[in-house]
Amino acid sequence: MHRAIKRVAIVGAGMGGLAAAIALHRKGFDVKVYEQSPDLGAFGAGLGVTPNAVKVFAALGLREKLHDVSVEPGGLIWRDSNDGAVTKFVSLDRAVERFGAQYYNSWRGDVHNLLSSALPAANIEAGRRCEGVEEGGDSIGVRFADGGTAEADVVIGCDGIRSVVRRALFGGPAARYSGHMCWRTLVPAERLPAGFHDMNTNNWTGPDGFLLTYFVRQGKFINIIAVRPQETWEEESWSVPSTREEMLAGFPRMGEKAQVLMNNAEQVFKWGQFTGAPAAQWTNGRATLLGDAAHAMLATFGQGAGSSFEDAFALAEWISANRDDYSTALNGYEAARKPRTARLQEMSRTEVRFKQQRTLPQRLRREWTYLTRFGKTTPKVYQWIFGFDPVTNWRAAAM
Ligand SMILES: Cc1cc2nc3c(=O)[nH]c(=O)nc-3n(C[C@H](O)[C@H](O)[C@H](O)COP(=O)(O)OP(=O)(O)OC[C@H]3O[C@@H](n4cnc5c(N)ncnc54)[C@H](O)[C@@H]3O)c2cc1C
């Protein structure tokens, strides 16, 4: 019998790390979150918080706050960027009835703020970059770049796609460049005529790549994520500045409406999209991984954040139910979460090939691929992703 788990060290105050900290704090654990950035300032662009993830917000008592800063889209729509013709539509009407919760389009900065303010300030230490973890006897230590250390009963590596914790536990990178380059920006809605953009999440597909556009921040801004294949990308960061001109130059053959949207962009950032192979192992002794550190995935189904919220809830439950046995807690969590996250990674990689769905043969090829590989056609795929309830199914997910 080990000493009961009391102190939990979380490395990374991103989406998954903060959600796990809130869930564990509410269960009475002594939680400390260590974040490398010197402040917890709000970064990022749009983030879809899909119904499966919204169920975690509801369980943590944060759904209404999320609702207040977000927009509920009417559906997911695919358009030919040349003429705007609709090639596919997934309705989000009656999302609560069909999937068990709302679907929100949010700004990552708003979500980050609402999560960090749900924790006492003393539980988060900013400016503390983890450089390694070392287990010794009845505890585990976190080593920081500032020369300091911290001791805990378990460590959760929530430090994203370049996870230091993952490298310390298992070696090797968490993710590799996917071959897709992205630009992200926000357009103030007031710059465009009323009704210029509809209330759906729009996928504009064209020969250069695709644009994802939707309202965020209570409808005050339109989020743009512009994605195109590109062979090389040296740097991974969420804050590499770009320009409107560079973004436009990447999509010369996009249709007129998509060009107008890009032309009205304010600050533009660029980043390479990274994805990973499912990690063979997440848990080693008193440490485990969560979110992108464990299973980085492409954003095609918007499940990078979604799956990290699911992980966070499940891990808090596993730790709480096995306070006297860290090995059962961490290994049980890993076994419960791995099959679903591996499948989400694979689906997200598959989907990137099928953004273009202009012709009937293209659409049929996609349906055939999903049916033979995952046993599901489009409606069942969305039902499986969005309809999942991580709150009642934290012990395991049906496939
Ligand atoms: C600044 C930023 C902006 C983003 N913007 C978007 C966006 O606009 N849209 C979108 O879909 N996704 C965005 N993402 C990614 C998205 O948040 C994640 O893919 C997803 O939410 C999974 O969450 P996560 O908790 O695993 O990782 P993340 O949310 O990426 O959080 C990881 C956290 O760990 C911290 N960290 C990393 N290394 C260390 C270390 N060694 N020591 C201490 N802390 C460390 C990072 O600073 C970060 O706060 C962004 C990520 C970041 C870091």
Residue 98: which CATH number?
3.50.50.60
Mean pLDDT of 37-57: 89
Mean pLDDT comparison of 148-157, 244-253, 388-397, highest-scoring range: 148-157
- Could you tell me the pLDDT band of residue 1, with boundaries at 50, 70 and 90? low
CA distance 289 to 292: 9
End-to-end CA distance of the chain: 34
Pocket perturbation via mutation, ligand 1, pick of 104, 274, 292 by most ligand atoms within 8 A of CB: 292
Q: Give pLDDT, residue 2.
A: 67
Instruction: Name the amino acid, one letter, at 20.
Output: A
In-domain check, residue 164: yes
How do residues 94-144 score in pLDDT, each as one tens digit? 999 999 999 999 999 999 999 999 999 999 999 999 999 999 889 999 999
Residue 234 has pLDDT above 60, yes or no: no
Mean pLDDT of 296-313: 93
In-domain check, residue 259: no
Give the atom of ligand 1 at the shortest distance from the alpha carbon of 14: 31
Q: Give pLDDT, residue 123.
A: 97
In-domain check, residue 366: yes
Residue 236 has pLDDT above 60, yes or no: no
In-domain check, residue 168: yes
Q: Give pLDDT, residue 131.
A: 97
Where on the phi/psi map is residue 8: left (φ > 0), alpha (ψ -120 to 50), or beta?
A: beta
Instruction: Name the amino acid, one letter, at 299.
Output: A
Residues paired with residue 241 on neighbouring β-strands, in sequence order: 269
In-domain check, residue 280: yes
Residue 369: domain span:
7-175+276-386
In-domain check, residue 328: yes
- Top-confidence residue, 43 or 327: 327
Complete edge-to-edge strand list for the sheet that includes strand 240-242: 86-91, 75-80, 201-206, 209-216, 221-229, 176-188, 268-275, 240-242
How do residues 256-280 score in pLDDT, each as one tens digit? 999 999 999 988 998 887 777 667 8
CA distance 132 to 142: 6
CA–CA–CA angle 303, 261, 355 (5° rounding): 40
3-state secondary structure 289-350: ECCHHHHCCCHHHCHHHHHHHHHHHHHHHHHHHCCCCHHHHHHHHHHHHHHHHHHHHHHHHH
Cα–chain center distance at 31:
22
- Could you tell me the pLDDT band of residue 173, with boundaries at 50, 70 and 90? low
Give the atom of ligand 1 at the shortest distance from the alpha carbon of 164: 41
In-domain check, residue 261: no
Q: What's the sign of the alpha-carbon dihedral 366, 367, 371, 372?
A: negative
Mean pLDDT comparison of 153-157, 192-196, 362-366, highest-scoring range: 153-157
Residue 174 has pLDDT above 90, yes or no: no
- Top-confidence residue, 40 or 318: 318
Dihedral over alpha carbons 325, 331, 335, 341 (to 10 degrees)? 120
> Nearest to residue 23, comparing CAs of 310, 330, 312?
312
Residue 355 has pLDDT above 80, yes or no: no
The count of domains in the chain is 1
Which residues are near ligand 1 (CB < 6 Å)? Answer: 11-17, 34-37, 43-45, 47, 108, 129-130, 158-160, 164, 184, 238, 291-293, 299, 304-305, 308
By residue count, the chain amounts to 399
CA distance 14 to 392: 24
Q: Give pLDDT, residue 150.
A: 98
In-domain check, residue 199: no
Residue 377 has pLDDT above 70, yes or no: yes
Dist. CA 119 → ligand 1 center (Å): 18
Q: What is the pTM of this model?
A: 0.94
Dist. CA 239 → ligand 1 center (Å): 11
- Could you tell me the pLDDT band of residue 339, with boundaries at 50, 70 and 90? very high
